[in-house]
Amino acid sequence: MAICLLGINHKTADVNIREQFTVAETDYAEHLNHLCHHPEIDSAAILSTCNRTEYYFSTPSVSRLLNALDDILEFNHQADYVYLKTDQQCAAHLFSVSAGMDSLVLGETQIQGQVKRAFDEAKKCNINSELNKLFQLAFKTAKMVRSETEIGRNPVSVAHCAVQLGRQIFGSLDEQNILIVGAGETAELLIRYLINHQATHITVSNRSVERAQKLAGHFSANTLPLDRLPHNLADFDLIFTATASPVILVNHQAVNNALQLRKFKPMVLIDLSVPRDIDEKIKNLDDAFLYTVDDLEAVITKNMHRRQSTLEEARRIIDAEAALLNQWLQSRKHHDLLKQYQQKVAGLKKQVLTNNGAEKLPDDWQEKINTVAHQLSQKMAHVNMVAMKKVIDSGNQEHIDLIADLFDLDGSHEI
């Protein structure tokens, strides 16, 4: 089995494209069940965040999978913004993602939980040895990178940078009325960062009132029912949204009405969701300032410089672990050669015994001759088996093909 990755991220596509392919975590199971019923997919995993949507596959044939993928996913794998990676490249990419090295914010930690949830959903559906090994090594590598390099020091996140942007605009946050739409992990991070910067007037709104109340209760914040959002927008100076809603939650008309009630006092809206929660036409309003995750890049750049020096060291760790996985994958692809050779030796032994009339001998003689023949054939085959295993473990395809030809074995495997 080969492993491969098909995906898009913040480096290859802007939010307008990314939001077309996003998959809510609650929908992972449905998508995975659909994918794993296809004959060219032995196992699959989905990782979808505000910055990326990636599909990981274990497949008998990458070329045949690609021919089928456009129909399976409605995902044009030849589009400029789509990337395809196989085996070692696929592993190195996931290891970088898990370590926070491929994130919009270098070294951010939120991605670790997102990768873990992607793995957990894949396990519930159907995960084979190849993908299980891939994700387990990703967790191990991410831990190594964070413990052995500076990338894990003073972690930041997109939520952190969103709050920094708010501080750049308003200066102090202690007098601003702040609304957070959402009650998940990102919403909690936003509140923690806001409180660290002396924000005191925080309100949480969410579709689930219970979740909003639970989150707000931890921080002595207020709550607002989501259906009251359009009517109460005028009360807020700074609005963050971080939900998995498939539809717009803050529309142009609601913001326009709010600005009139505020007598056109400026309002700042920061949308951290993909798909987006806030209507992009709001940018056309004079006193509304809308930012998306893509707009945070300028803020984030300042935080990147102190981490850049660690990239080379982290990359060495990732490349070494990816090479180990590739070696394991290659041995998996060719382990059938050993089985073929064992079967060939057993067949030759049986043929020699039959040709020499062993079956016509008394039972006790047959047993003795079979035992001697078995021991002799195994002893002679052992030297070859050890040599073959060394060649297979080396991953040298030219030598593996030579071994297959030498012993007349079928070493073909389409990838």
Residue corresponding to tokens 């400026």: 266
The whole-number pLDDT of residue 68 equals: 85
Q: Residues annotated in the binding site for substrate, as ranges?
A: 49-52, 103, 108-110, 114
- Confidence (pTM): 0.72
Query: pLDDT per residue over 131-175, tens digit each?
Result: 999 999 999 999 999 888 877 665 567 888 899 899 989 988 999
pLDDT-flagged residues of the chain (< 50): 413-415
Residue 108 CB burial class (10 angstroms; 0-12, 13-18, ≥19): buried
DSSP per position, 83-100: EEEEHHHHHHHHHHHHTT
Q: Distance between CA atoms of 104 and 253, rounded to whole angstroms?
A: 31
Q: Distance between CA atoms of 297 and 293, rounded to whole angstroms?
A: 8
Q: Distance between CA atoms of 376 and 378, rounded to whole angstroms?
A: 6
Task: Give me the percent of the chain exceeding a pLDDT of 90.
Answer: 55
The whole-number pLDDT of residue 319 equals: 93
Query: Which residue in 349, 361, 329, 386 sits closest to 58, CA to CA?
Result: 329
The whole-number pLDDT of residue 415 equals: 39
The whole-number pLDDT of residue 156 equals: 64
Residue 214 CB burial class (10 angstroms; 0-12, 13-18, ≥19): middle
Q: Does 50 participate in catalysis according to the annotation?
A: yes
Q: Which helix (H) or strand (E) holds 5?
A: strand 2-9
Cβ(102)–Cβ(22) under 8 Å?
Answer: no
Q: Distance between CA atoms of 17 and 30, rounded to whole angstroms?
A: 22
The whole-number pLDDT of residue 162 equals: 92
Q: Residues annotated in the binding site, as ranges?
A: 49-52, 103, 108-110, 114, 182-187
Query: pLDDT per residue over 219-249, tens digit each?
Result: 999 999 999 999 999 999 999 999 999 999 9
Query: Which residue in 194, 164, 191, 114 sits closest to 303, CA to CA?
Result: 164
The whole-number pLDDT of residue 175 equals: 92
Q: Which long-range contacts (CB under 8 A, 24 or more apart) does 24-30 make?
A: 24/48, 24/244, 24/246, 25/117, 25/121, 25/244, 26/244, 28/117, 28/118, 28/121, 29/121, 29/124, 29/125
The whole-number pLDDT of residue 176 equals: 95
DSSP per position, 133-181: HHHHHHHHHHHHHHHHSGGGSS---HHHHHHHHHHHHHS--TT-EEEEE
Radius of gyration, CA atoms only, the chain:
29
User: For the chain, first and last CA: distance in Å?
Assistant: 8
Q: Distance between CA atoms of 158 and 105, rounded to whole angstroms?
A: 6
Active-site choice (4, 36, 50, 90): 50
Facing residues of 57 across strands?
A: 4, 44
The whole-number pLDDT of residue 153 equals: 66
Q: Mean pLDDT of all residues in the chain?
A: 88
**Structural domains present in the chain:** 2-155 (3.30.460.30), 158-299 (3.40.50.720), 336-406 (no CATH)
Q: Residues annotated in the binding site for NADP(+), as ranges?
A: 182-187
The whole-number pLDDT of residue 306 equals: 57
